[in-house]
Structures are given as structure tokens and as C-alpha cells.
Amino acid sequence: MATTNDLKNGMVLNLDGVLWTVVEFQHVKPGKGPAFVRTKLKHVLNGKVVDKTFNAGTKVETANVDKRTMQFSYKDGEQFIFMDLDTYDQIPVSPEVVGDAAKYLLEGFEALVAQHDNAPLYIELPAAVELVIAETEPGLQGDRSTGGTKPATLETGAEIQVPLFVTTGEKIKVDTRDGSYLGRVNK
């Protein structure tokens, strides 16, 4: 148990048996009346975001979430198999839990796997990953009508927008949060 005064971003709360991650919180002390805490909570399993207000000092139940760095080993049918780098245990993770992270996963990539009662809750990739462009059209010199970008397919199958000068076979850095191009990687 903790109080609303102890809230931090990323903390997981157990509200009525449902796990919520604190995305944002703000302590508010109005001129009149008692202080309160305005929060933005994200449902751990389905990603739904809600706003919730607590009175300051209210007790809230925290959930024990085990976050470990694991390596993506392989895909077995629909399941993604991750290996714990400390114990070498392999755990299956469903596609629903992996979510959009699947677009940027290659064998051998490391990710943070959050578990509660040995059930995977979500996957957290590094902010940026390095991937090779599998296919992209050659850029036309002087074509700036599209803002200087073109579609490119990554080695994972994900499609992103890249600058016109990027070619097939180049290794680039991609932001895993929004799929944006961050730059070339020097070989």
C-alpha cells in the first residue's frame, strides 16, 4: 500500500483488481478545499487511458510488477518466445501483450518484459533500435513535394517514412515509440 502522495510515473496500481500504470500525475492545491491528485492512468492489459482524481493522502494498492531484461529468441506459431538473460528460462508472450513492439523485434533483440504473478503484462523496447531497410524506392533528385520522405519497408516487415537519400540495404535508427526515422547508422 502507498498513498497518493507517493505516486510516480510508471508505478503500477491495483485498483479493484485491475492493474493501471501511472502515466501522469499532478498534485493540486486549490485556494479553497482540500488538496487532490489528478492522474492519467493506462490500463496495463488493453492500453486504455483514463483520468482519475484522488484525494491527497488516499491509500492506493500498488502491484508488484517484475520487470526484467529479456532477449527475444524466436516466434513459435503466434507466441513470441523471450529468454530471461539471468536464468535462461524461456517464456511465451502472446501477440496481444507484445502489441506494436512486434514491428521492431528481431531475434536477439533485448526488451524489458513486465510480469505480474508470472503472467507477462507488456513489453518495453529501447527508445530506438537499429534495423536494415529491406526495400525502398530510389529517391528522385529535387522531389520535395512530399516533404522529402518516402515509404520504406524494414527487415521486420514494418513500414516507415524515410528521407529520400536513404537506400535499400542501409542500416537506420528507428524510434520505437512512433516509428519515426532517427538517422543512419555508420557501419
Where in the chain are the domains? 2-60, 66-124, 128-184
Spatial distance between the Cα atoms of 46 and 32, rounded to a whole number of angstroms: 37
Checking if the pLDDT of 55 tops 80, the result is yes
Which SS3 state, helix, strand or coil, does residue 110 take?
Answer: strand
Residue 77 is predicted with a pLDDT of 86
Residue 124 is predicted with a pLDDT of 82
Taking residues 122-135, report their average pLDDT. 85
Residue 40 is predicted with a pLDDT of 92
Answer whether 47's CB lies under 8 Å from 29's CB: no
Checking if the pLDDT of 44 tops 80, the result is no
Residue 146 is predicted with a pLDDT of 54
DSSP H helices in 44-169: 95-98
Which SS3 state, helix, strand or coil, does residue 4 take?
Answer: helix
- 66-124, CATH topology level: OB fold (Dihydrolipoamide Acetyltransferase, E2P) (2.40.50)
Spatial distance between the Cα atoms of 180 and 51, rounded to a whole number of angstroms: 28
Q: Is 130 exposed, middle or buried (0-12, 13-18, 19+ CB in 10 A)?
A: middle
Is the domain defined by 128-184 classed in CATH 3.40.50.10860? no
Residue 4 is predicted with a pLDDT of 81
Checking if the pLDDT of 144 tops 60, the result is no
Residue 105 is predicted with a pLDDT of 85
Rounded to two decimals, what is the model's pTM?
0.65
Q: At 145, is the pLDDT very low, low, confident or very high (cuts 50, 70, 90)?
A: low
One fold for 66-124 and 128-184: yes
Answer whether 129's CB lies under 8 Å from 173's CB: yes
Residue 96 is predicted with a pLDDT of 81
Higher pLDDT, 122 or 147: 122
Checking if the pLDDT of 139 tops 70, the result is no
Answer whether 36's CB lies under 8 Å from 91's CB: no
Q: At 7, is the pLDDT very low, low, confident or very high (cuts 50, 70, 90)?
A: confident
Spatial distance between the Cα atoms of 121 and 66, rounded to a whole number of angstroms: 10
Class for the domain spanning 2-60:
mainly beta
Higher pLDDT, 51 or 99: 51
> 91-108, pLDDT tens digit by residue?
888 888 887 888 888 888
* DSSP state at residue 127: S
